[in-house]
Amino acid sequence: MKIKNCLLTFSLIVSSIITTYYATISTAQQGAAQQPAVVADNEYQVGAVLFMQKAAEFRALAYQAFNIARMRFDADFDKRNLKKLAKAERQMIRAVVVDIDETVLDNSPHQAELIKNRMPFTGSIWTAWVNRREAKPIPGAVEFLKYANSKGARVFYVSNRNEAEKQGTIDNLKAVGFPDVSDETVLVRTTESGKEARRQSIAAKHRIVLLMGDNLNDFSNVFERKSVGDRFAEVDRTRELFGEKYIVLPNAMYGDWESAIYEYGRLSEVEKTAKRNAALESY
Residues forming contacts to Mg ion in the complex (CB under 5 A) are: 99, 101-102, 214
Smallest separation (angstroms) from Mg ion to the CB of 213: 6
Q: Whose Cβ is closer to Mg ion: residue 76's or residue 139's? A: 139
Torsion angle defined by CA atoms of residues 270, 231, 201 and 134, in that order, rounded to the nearest 10 degrees: 40
Q: Whose Cβ is closer to Mg ion: residue 99's or residue 165's? A: 99
Q: Whose Cβ is closer to Mg ion: residue 26's or residue 259's? A: 259
Smallest separation (angstroms) from Mg ion to the CB of 254: 9
Q: What is the DSSP letter of 37?
A: S
Cα atoms found within 13 Å of the Cα of residue 210, Cβ hemisphere only: 30
Smallest separation (angstroms) from Mg ion to the CB of 219: 11
CB-based contact 175:133 (threshold 8 Å): yes
Element spanning 216, H or E: none
Smallest separation (angstroms) from Mg ion to the CB of 97: 12
Report d(CA 66, CA 274) in Å as an integer.
37
Smallest separation (angstroms) from Mg ion to the CB of 21: 49
Q: Whose Cβ is closer to Mg ion: residue 106's or residue 214's? A: 214
Report d(CA 8, CA 160) in Å as an integer.
65
Q: Whose Cβ is closer to Mg ion: residue 100's or residue 202's? A: 100
Residue nearest to Mg ion (CB): 101
Per-residue DSSP letters for 39-82?
----GGGHHHHHHHHH-HHHHHHHHHHHHHHHHHHHHTT-HHHH
